[in-house]
Structures are given as structure tokens and as C-alpha cells.
């Protein structure tokens, strides 16, 4: 019996293997005392055998093998080059164990195969990174390779995964556990609005702030497959890998993307904080880590394709006056791009719109003290483009394929295609002082193909290497490409094309299970939202944007003086607080009123926090229910201030103390009773600052 154990003070993971076989995770949960011997744990957790079944329970190993009578989904499905199915059966060949990392090697001599599992634990963020690799003596076809398989707890009634659509990203989906499989497979070739690659398994009774939970995220942008399976004996397994059959060519080596996993004993927030910190502090590579995140202005919803230099200059001046620090020129500046039917791939400045190139606009933007960013959609091509006319074979997929937004994807697996796009983009980046790219990807692929994703990664990596100061935003019709794979190459995500603050409030809340504020773009949209038709007050729009990486996207010429004043004030508050807020943990609060979506952003050192309580609907009861805070020091005293109490409506006639000024109470009171806010209209936000005294 072999066994291995990884600990970080917050969780223990124990692996045990029967003789030379692949190991099983026999324990993953709250930290165990050192005296708990792995061999004893393995023996103690062994399941009994009864009638009508095999004489032993097949291993639920880190790569369950079909050939060992495993009754569920195997961790690996392969074929030899000639198409013959291979049934691997691995035996131990070696290990490397460090305090927080483990590499295990296995081989199958008969089939000429080797399997390697790498498991690393970050002792600060508490995130496990698990990767599997298969190599072969001769080229093989890969159908399915799971990252190392983890068990799911049996004291859980449901699982939570994430779905969505254009303008409606990050819906949480709850599915009850039952015998069989919850299977999600994204065959779009792109991370997608529909399939954020993650799973949370809450223990029975877990909420945002309490209970146990297990979190998983697969860091890959080409579409994933998730299997959450309950076996007939009751055991549960979680598999994550690339979508099946997306390796189109035989090879002697295949590797999974990293699976990130974490256990929490303090609710979904424990998962969220680990993912937020790991993403911000370990995954994202910041060109200038010390620089403040600038307030953005993006011109898309102001002008769309109608680029006029004098109008853009006027808009830039107004945006700067409101507090913007980076001006992003969106779609429409290149080729003959007057609408979305043409010019993708023709990455040269449209001299009809910009006769002297982009310099006059950029000089103006710089003179206002803002930096300049620009939109590209590098992996795409239109039929109506010079590049397609010259290279019709560069498009991926068949000639009669369905188009998406009138466009096709380029075949990014081809080096000549990547080189061409690189040269065009590099020429723009060399000619102009640009510090930001909004990198869009507006259609799904004609079919899933891992080589396409690797090609996209290679292009981004090359540009990052040659233009290390340029930041990149991952956008795909809003939140269609958000995952730790793309975020190891980019610094911001465009969470959604919906600038509707009401919809954003919920989306941001759910996305914070994985994404920190520093990378989550959020813009103040037009008064009448272009994608929902909803009219929202500037206060609500501004505060919702101020919850994340703030920006503006409306036409500033539509703002009344009062609206501009509100926006200036909230932006200045955001700038004043961004340094600590963008490093803070976002904690989702357990709101006792379903109409209220509330979060607490808490500084790393616990000395200050801000609570955003967004009223998404009219409450069923008359008075606001107190909002209980979390993770405070029960014995410390806190000064809490309702900073926008001047926005109370005249229908708020009573006198909750926060309406009159700061209140000083204990952390225990704030966590046990909560803060009592004034009555408010739906589609409004209360903002409460807290300071530890
Ligand atoms: C889709 C993006 O999500 C929008 O923000 C905008 O950049 C358009 N594409 C431009 O075509």
C-alpha cells in the first residue's frame, strides 16, 4: 500500500494506492491531525462488499481505468493510430514528493503508454492545481483525458454549475445529485457564455458564509467536458478535461489543462476568496503590477461604427472630465468597417475615417492625460475583406459553414495565418502608443479543435512577449471567453455586453465566486440600456460599475449636469478607494431578502470594508431586513457609515441610525444582527463603509 498526503492548514488531501495501481483520493476535506496515518485512513474508508456485486469495490482512482471493471466513466479514452481501442492498465513507476507538490508516474508496458499526474497545492491561496499527461511510444488518438479525478462528498445534496447567454452571463444552476451523470460538454470551441468551466459542490446546509464546499475550475479556453457522476455504490467522482475528441491529429503526448480545486469550511465565500486571490495574484501577469487600475472609457455604445474624429475628440474630453483615465477605441477603425459585415482581418487604419491615421486622436487623448486602447478581433475574418480575397483557405471550417455575425474564424493552427495577423497587429502597436487591447472573439468555432485554442494562445503569447507593456482584455461578445487559461495571458474580462446595471448586479455577484474585482470590467452604460431597453438612474448605474474595475460606455453628451456630477462623485470615490478595493476579497452575503443582492468587499488586513447592497426588486415585506456581515473580528469595534445616505427617497420617513451618520458597534453585532438600512426604491444601491477602530 502506497500513500501520499498534502496539507496547507486549511485542507488535507490523502491519496492511497493498492499495490502498484493508480491511487485514489481517500480523503479531501478539513485538515486532519498529523497523527492520522494515511494507510489507516485508507483502510478505514474501505467500503464493504455485499451480494450482487463484485468481490471488491473497483478503485475510484485519479484516472479510473475501464479495464479494471470501473462501473463509471473512465478517466482516459484512447485509440491506437489504426483506430484500435486501447485499454490502458497502469503500474507505478515513480514519484516526486515535495511539501506542497506531488508528481506520480505510471506506465502500461503492453500498450507502450505512460501516465503522469501532477498535483500542486498553493499554501497561501489554498488552490490545488492538477494536471495529467499521457505519452505513448507511437502516435495515438485521444478521445478523452481527464485531469486527475477528485471525489465529491456524499454529504452533499446538489451541485452548482454556471450557465448563461449573451447579455446574461453567470447564472448559477443547481442540480440534485442522483445516480448517474451530470454531464456538461462545451463543443463550441470557445469557453462560451453558456459553459463557464466550473463546479461547486456545497456540503449539506452550506451557504455563502458557512458550511463546507468544494470548488473546481478548468483553465482552458477551447471548451471543456465535465462529468459529475454518482456510481451505483454511492461514490461520486468529478472529471474535467478538454471537450472529447477535440484533438484532431494523432500524437505521442497529450496534456490536460490545469484543473484548479479547493476545499472550504466557511461556505462558498471560502471558495470564492481562494479563486479570486489565486487568479489575481498567481494567474494574471500584470505589466505594471504597482500601477493603479485606470478608469476606462469605451466608445462602443456611444458611436458604434460611426467614427468621426471631432466627435470622438469631444467624447474623449468629456470622458476625461468625468474621471476616465484610459480611452478605448472600439470596433470600426480599420478596413472599411462601417458595419459588422466586413473587414475583419484587414487590420489597417481606415483612412476615410482617419486620413492622418490615429495620431490626431491619440495625441488628443494623451493631451487629456488618458492612455489609449484599441479593439481587435484577431482570430476572425469576413468574406468581405482583402485578406479573405487573397487567402480564402485561411478560414477554418467548410465553405458552406454557418456564419456567426457574418464572419468566420481564421485557422489559428496555421503558423502562416498567425504570422500574418501578428505582423498586422504588431505594425499598429509599433506605430501608435497603445497600452491596451480589447481582444474580441464574437463567434463560436465551426467545430471544437484544441489546435485552434493553442494557436490563439501562441499568438497572444508572442504579442505579450514583444509588447510586454500592453494589457489585454478578454472579450467574446461580452463574457464568452473567461477562464484561467485566457487569464494567464490577459488582465481584464468584459463580463457582459449588458451594461444594464440591474443585470450586472446579479452577474457580478455570481462571477465573484471566481473573479476578483481587479479583472472584472464594469461600465456605466447609457441612460436607456441598449440591450435591455431599461431606464436606470445614474446613481445605480455608477455604483454597480464602482463594484468592479470601473469604466464608462455611454455617450457622455447625453448626460445632464446632475448626472455628470453624480458620476464624477462616484468615480472620484472609486479612485480614492481602488488601491485597497481591487486587492480586497469579495464576500457574498447571505441576504435574508431575495430582493437584495449584497456583498462585502473586505481589505486583506481586515481593517476596512465596503458593503454594496443592491436592491434588485421590490421586497415582499415592508421594511428592509438587516444585512448580516461576515468575517469580521467579533470583539473588535467598527465604525459603519452609509456614505450615500443623501440618496434616501422621501418615502423613507423613519430614522434608522445609519441615516443620520456613522454608527459604532462590535463585529459580533454586525455579524449576528446585521446593518439596518433605510427603505429604498428597487434599482438602487446602498453603500456602507466600515472601518475597524
Ligand atoms: C462585441 C463586444 O462584446 C462589444 O463590447 C464590442 O466590442 C463589439 N463586439 C464590437 O464589435
| Ligand 1 mean position, distance from CA 442 (Å) | 8
Rounded distance between C-alpha atoms, residue 19 and residue 620, angstroms:
61
Which of 164, 497, 500, 553 has most ligand 1 atoms within 8 Å of its beta carbon, as the pocket-test mutant?
497
In a domain, 288, yes or no: no
In a domain, 389, yes or no: yes
User: Catalytic annotation on 497?
Assistant: yes
Rounded distance between C-alpha atoms, residue 601 and residue 548, angstroms:
10
What pLDDT is attached to residue 693? 97
The mean pLDDT value for 168-180 works out to: 98
User: Catalytic annotation on 440?
Assistant: yes
Percent of the chain predicted with pLDDT > 90: 100
Same domain as 177, residue 40 = yes
All residues at 6 or more sequence positions from 680 whose CB lies less than 8 Å from its CB, including other chains: 615, 624, 648, 649, 652, 686
425 pLDDT band (50/70/90 cuts)? very high
Rounded distance between C-alpha atoms, residue 240 and residue 223, angstroms:
11
What pLDDT is attached to residue 216? 98
Give yes or no for a contact between 678 and 654, defined as CB atoms under 8 angstroms apart.
yes
Ligand 1 proximity of 540 Cβ (cutoff 6 Å) = no
From 564, 583, 602, the end of a domain falls on 583
Per-residue pLDDT for 569 more than 90? Answer: yes
Same domain as 464, residue 598 = no
In a domain, 290, yes or no: no
- If one counts every other C-beta atom within 10 angstroms of the C-beta of residue 647, the result is 20
In a domain, 648, yes or no: yes
Same domain as 597, residue 573 = no
Same domain as 578, residue 593 = no
pTM confidence score: 0.98
Longest dimension (CA), the chain: 83
- H or E, element range at 425: helix 415-431
Same domain as 126, residue 193 = yes
The mean pLDDT value for 591-613 works out to: 97
The mean pLDDT value for 642-647 works out to: 96
CATH of the domain at 423: 3.20.20.70
Rounded distance between C-alpha atoms, residue 271 and residue 281, angstroms:
15
From 281, 311, 342, the end of a domain falls on 281
In a domain, 418, yes or no: yes
Same domain as 639, residue 594 = yes
What pLDDT is attached to residue 227? 98
Q: How many domains does the chain have?
A: 3
Same domain as 222, residue 319 = no
Catalytic, out of 122, 350, 483, 497: 497
In a domain, 107, yes or no: yes
Ligand 1 proximity of 343 Cβ (cutoff 6 Å) = no
For 232-265, give one letter per residue: b (16+ CB within 10 A) or e. Answer: ebebbbbbbbbbbbbbeebeeebebbbbbbbbbb
Same domain as 511, residue 414 = yes
Catalytic, out of 440, 500, 555, 585: 440
* pLDDT per position as a tens digit, 184-198: 999 999 999 999 999
The mean pLDDT value for 427-437 works out to: 98
Ligand 1 proximity of 330 Cβ (cutoff 6 Å) = yes
* pLDDT per position as a tens digit, 318-335: 999 999 999 999 999 999
Which of 301, 306, 307, 331 has most ligand 1 atoms within 8 Å of its beta carbon, as the pocket-test mutant?
331
Same domain as 599, residue 513 = no
Give yes or no for a contact between 114 and 248, defined as CB atoms under 8 angstroms apart.
no
Percent of the chain predicted with pLDDT > 70: 100
Supply the range of the domain harboring residue 547.
296-583
What does pLDDT average to over the chain?
A: 97
The mean pLDDT value for 525-532 works out to: 98
What pLDDT is attached to residue 1? 78
Q: Are strands 436-439 and 371-376 parallel, antiparallel or unpaired?
A: parallel
What pLDDT is attached to residue 469? 98
Rounded distance between C-alpha atoms, residue 304 and residue 584, angstroms:
34
Same domain as 611, residue 527 = no
* pLDDT per position as a tens digit, 466-511: 999 999 999 999 999 999 999 999 999 999 999 999 999 999 999 9
In a domain, 83, yes or no: yes
In a domain, 287, yes or no: no
What residue's CA is closest to ligand 1, atom 9?
477
The mean pLDDT value for 145-159 works out to: 98
From 551, 583, 615, the end of a domain falls on 583
| Ligand 1 mean position, distance from CA 439 (Å) | 9
Same domain as 674, residue 543 = no
The mean pLDDT value for 234-253 works out to: 97
CATH of the domain at 661: 2.60.40.1180
* Cell numbers at 402, concatenated: 454557418
Same domain as 260, residue 167 = yes
Amino acid at each position: 500500500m502506497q500513500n501520499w498526503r498534502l496539507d496547507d492548514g486549511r485542507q488535507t488531501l490523502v491519496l492511497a494506492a493498492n499495490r502498484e495501481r493508480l491511487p485514489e483520493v481517500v480523503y479531501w476535506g478539513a485538515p486532519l491531525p498529523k497523527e492520522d496515518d494515511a494507510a489507516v485512513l485508507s483502510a478505514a474508508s474501505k467500503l464493504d462488499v455485499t451480494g450482487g456485486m463484485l468481490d471488491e469495490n473497483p478503485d475510484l482512482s485519479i484516472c479510473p481505468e475501464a479495464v479494471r471493471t470501473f462501473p463509471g466513466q473512465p478517466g482516459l479514452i484512447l485509440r491506437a493510430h489504426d483506430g484500435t481501442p486501447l485499454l490502458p492498465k497502469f503500474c507505478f513507476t515513480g514519484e516526486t514528493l515535495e511539501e506542497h507538490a506531488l508528481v506520480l508516474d505510471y506506465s502500461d508496458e503492453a500498450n507502450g503508454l505512460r501516465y503522469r499526474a501532477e498535483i500542486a497545492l498553493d499554501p497561501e491561496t489554498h488552490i490545488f492545481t492538477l494536471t495529467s499527461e499521457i505519452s505513448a511510444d507511437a502516435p495515438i488518438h485521444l478521445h478523452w483525458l481527464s485531469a486527475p479525478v477528485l471525489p465529491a462528498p456524499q454529504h452533499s445534496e446538489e451541485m452548482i454549475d454556471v450557465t448563461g447567454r449573451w447579455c446574461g452571463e453567470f447564472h448559477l444552476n443547481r442540480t440534485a445529485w442522483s445516480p448517474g451523470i451530470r454531464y456538461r460538454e462545451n463543443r463550441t470551441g470557445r469557453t462560451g457564455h453558456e459553459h463557464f468551466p466550473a463546479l461547486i459542490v456545497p456540503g449539506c446546509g452550506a451557504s455563502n458564509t458557512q458550511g463546507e464546499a468544494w470548488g473546481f475550475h478548468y483553465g482552458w479556453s477551447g471548451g471543456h467536458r465535465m462529468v459529475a457522476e454518482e456510481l451505483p455504490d454511492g461514490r461520486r467522482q468529478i472529471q474535467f478535461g478538454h471537450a472529447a475528441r477535440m484533438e484532431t491529429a494523432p500524437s505521442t503526448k497529450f496534456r490536460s489543462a490545469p484543473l484548479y480545486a479547493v476545499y472550504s469550511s466557511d461556505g462558498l465565500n471560502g471558495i470564492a476568496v481562494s479563486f479570486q486571490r489565486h487568479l489575481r495574484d498567481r494567474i494574471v501577469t500584470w505589466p505594471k503590477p504597482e500601477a493603479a487600475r485606470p478608469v476606462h472609457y469605451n466608445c462602443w455604445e456611444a458611436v458604434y461604427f460611426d467614427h468621426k474624429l471631432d466627435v470622438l475628440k469631444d467624447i474623449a474630453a468629456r470622458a476625461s472630465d468625468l474621471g476616465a483615465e484610459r480611452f478605448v477605441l472600439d470596433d470600426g477603425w480599420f478596413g472599411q468597417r462601417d458595419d459588422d459585415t466586413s473587414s475583419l482581418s484587414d487590420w489597417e487604419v481606415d483612412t476615410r475615417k482617419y486620413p492622418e491615421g490615429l495620431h490626431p486622436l491619440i495625441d488628443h487623448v494623451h493631451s487629456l492625460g488618458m492612455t489609449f486602447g484599441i479593439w481587435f478581433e484577431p482570430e476572425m475574418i469576413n468574406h468581405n475583406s482583402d485578406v479573405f480575397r487573397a487567402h480564402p483557405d485561411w478560414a477554418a471550417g467548410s465553405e458552406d459553414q454557418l456564419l456567426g455575425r457574418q464572419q468566420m474564424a481564421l485557422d489559428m493552427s496555421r503558423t502562416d495565418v498567425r504570422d500574418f495577423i501578428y505582423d498586422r497587429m504588431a505594425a499598429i502597436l509599433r506605430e501608435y502608443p497603445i497600452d491596451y487591447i480589447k481582444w474580441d472573439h464574437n463567434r463560436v468555432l465551426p467545430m471544437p479543435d484544441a489546435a485552434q485554442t493553442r494557436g490563439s494562445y501562441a499568438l497572444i503569447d508572442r504579442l505579450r512577449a514583444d509588447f510586454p507593456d500592453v494589457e489585454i482584455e478578454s472579450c467574446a461578445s461580452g463574457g464568452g471567453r473567461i477562464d484561467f487559461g485566457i487569464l494567464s495571458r490577459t488582465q481584464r474580462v468584459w463580463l457582459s455586453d449588458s451594461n444594464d446595471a440591474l443585470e450586472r448586479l446579479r452577474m457580478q455577484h455570481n462571477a465573484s465566486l471566481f473573479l476578483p474585482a481587479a479583472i472584472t470590467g464594469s461600465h456605466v452604460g447609457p441612460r436607456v440600456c441598449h440591450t435591455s431597453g431599461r431606464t436606470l438612474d445614474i446613481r445605480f448605474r455608477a455604483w454597480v460599475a464602482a463594484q468592479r474595475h470601473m469604466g464608462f460606455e455611454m455617450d457622455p453628451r447625453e448626460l445632464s449636469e446632475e448626472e455628470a456630477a453624480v458620476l464624477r462623485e462616484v468615480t472620484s470615490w472609486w479612485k480614492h478607494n481602488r488601491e485597497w478595493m481591487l486587492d480586497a476579497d469579495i464576500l457574498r452575503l447571505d441576504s435574508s431578502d431575495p430582493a437584495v443582492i449584497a456583498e462585502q468587499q473586505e481589505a486583506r488586513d481586515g481593517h476596512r470594508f465596503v458593503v454594496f447592497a443592491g436592491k434588485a426588486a421590490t421586497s415582499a415585506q415592508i421594511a428592509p431586513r438587516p444585512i448580516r456581515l461576515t468575517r469580521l473580528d467579533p470583539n473588535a469595534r467598527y465604525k459603519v457609515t452609509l456614505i450615500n445616505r443623501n440618496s434616501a427617497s422621501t418615502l423613507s420617513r423613519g430614522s434608522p441610525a445609519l441615516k443620520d451618520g456613522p454608527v459604532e458597534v462590535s463585529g459580533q453585532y454586525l455579524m449576528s444582527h446585521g446593518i439596518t438600512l433605510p427603505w429604498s426604491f428597487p434599482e438602487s444601491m446602498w453603500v456602507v463603509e466600515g472601518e475597524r477602530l
